[in-house]
Copies of this chain bind each other. A is one copy, B any other.
Amino acid sequence: MTGVLVVDDDQHLLKALRITLQAHGYAVETAADGEAALIAASRNPPGIVVLDLGLPDMDGAAVLRELRRWSTAPVLVLSARHGSSDKVDALDAGADDYITKPFGLEELLARLRALLRRAPEAIEPSTVDTPEFSVDLGRRMVTRNGEPVRLTPTEWSILELLVRNPGKLITQQQILASVWGPAYEKEANYLRVYMAQLRRKLEADTGNPRHLLTEAGIGYRFRP
């Protein structure tokens, strides 16, 4: 059963959407503001998100960007604004679709189906395992031989980026831009320090890493 996270500050609309979506077989979770949305999404990662741009606490686009930092779930944006630039901004910020209020429920449902058709990974793996250690993306926790491993925020950010792209080579620039920001793309020194730290905590033989691999001159790669 696919999980839908509906974010809107209009209680009536929220209730109507909940009933409709549940009637069509979705597991619905709701949030009334941006902060609650991000908490709910991290606690119980949804298969798809319906997001109203007009939230009381923070800009809808900000919620979208924050969500995109760690979630690839499709996002359908609701908005009362018909302006072209609003749509362009939301879509370029990571939204997958944009419909304006008022909208027909049938259309909303059809668009959700179309989006979910493209994202078969609706239930993305919440944990990634290797013979030596296990990474729980949802709980932000790493265990090794059953024992929890303490990671600093920076260590986790790097490990998460690598683990979410198993086997894929991530360039140093990508890691630096993702963890420290695009302005730090030259600071390859940081990376060396933190990769050594991660290997010391996760690899049996830091000299011959089996899962956190180096590609000299390019970047790093996680092998499961």
Chain A: residues with CB nearer than 8 A to chain B? 74, 84-85, 87-88, 91-92, 95-98, 104, 106-107, 109-111, 113-114, 117-119, 138-141, 152-153, 167-169, 215-218, 221
How many copies make up the complex?
2
- The one of B98, B152, B218 in contact with A216, judged by C-beta atoms closer than 8 angstroms, is B152
In the complex, the answer to whether B96 meets A118 with C-beta atoms within 8 Å is yes
In the complex, the answer to whether B119 meets A106 with C-beta atoms within 8 Å is no
24 pairs, CB–CB < 8 Å, chain A vs chain B: A84-B107, A85-B106, A87-B106, A87-B107, A88-B106, A91-B110, A91-B111, A91-B113, A91-B114, A92-B110, A92-B113, A96-B117, A118-B118, A139-B168, A139-B169, A140-B168, A140-B169, A140-B215, A140-B218, A141-B167, A141-B169, A141-B221, A152-B216, A153-B216
Contacts of A74 in B (CB 8 A): 118
Q: Which residue of B lies closest to A97 (CB)?
A: B97
A119, B118: Cα distance in complex, Å = 8
Q: How far is the CB of A221 from chain B (nearest CB, A)?
A: 8
In the complex, the answer to whether A139 meets B110 with C-beta atoms within 8 Å is no
Contacts of A96 in B (CB 8 A): 114, 117-118
State the 4 A-B residue pairs at the shortest beta-carbon distance, nearest first.
A140-B169, A91-B110, A84-B104, A88-B110
A87, B106: Cα distance in complex, Å = 9
In the complex, the answer to whether A167 meets B153 with C-beta atoms within 8 Å is no
In the complex, the answer to whether A84 meets B113 with C-beta atoms within 8 Å is no
Beyond known contacts A95-B114, A140-B215: 19 more, CB 8 A cutoff: A84-B106, A85-B106, A87-B104, A88-B110, A91-B110, A91-B111, A91-B114, A92-B110, A92-B113, A96-B114, A97-B97, A97-B114, A98-B111, A118-B118, A118-B119, A139-B167, A141-B169, A141-B221, A152-B216
Q: How far is the CB of A139 from chain B (nearest CB, A)?
A: 5
Q: Which residue of B lies closest to A151 (CB)?
A: B215
Contacts of A95 in B (CB 8 A): 114
